[in-house]
Amino acid sequence: MKKYLTIAFVAAAITGCDSKPPVEVELGSNSFWGTPQVRITAKQDSVTVKKVQVNRGNCTAAAQQVLPSKIPFGEVLKIDVSSCRKVVEVSISTSAGDYDFSFDRS
């Protein structure tokens, strides 16, 4: 009996650990200023973006909505990055956990 309970707990822990981010991140540019823009798309029914950090905090990230911001599935949160010309890394804190996204460093 103890063996089966252990297996059940391990199986529950594994199925509960979804490492796939609840958001998709793309880089673009602000159509007005031409500066970099991070576009965060919700890939779950609803995800709350709590904090966005660009290039390990070395770039100013200004969300077009007040953070924390709840984003429904398929909707996009735009983050303008006016103080850096190149985005290398974006760290996002969400209601489902924290995720880092890296981009071409060349």
pLDDT digits (tens, 9 = 90+) for 32-91: 989 999 999 999 999 999 999 999 999 999 999 999 999 999 999 999 998 999 999 999
Residue 39 near residue 78, CB atoms below 8 Å: yes
Residue 74 near residue 41, CB atoms below 8 Å: yes
C-alpha to C-alpha distance for 104 and 20, rounded to whole angstroms: 20
Answer with the residue of higher pLDDT: 45 or 7.
45
Could you give the dihedral angle defined by the CA atoms of residues 71, 72, 75 and 80, in that order, rounded to the nearest 10 degrees? Answer: 0
What domains are defined for the chain?
A: 21-102 (2.60.40)
Query: What is the pTM (predicted TM-score) of this model?
Result: 0.79
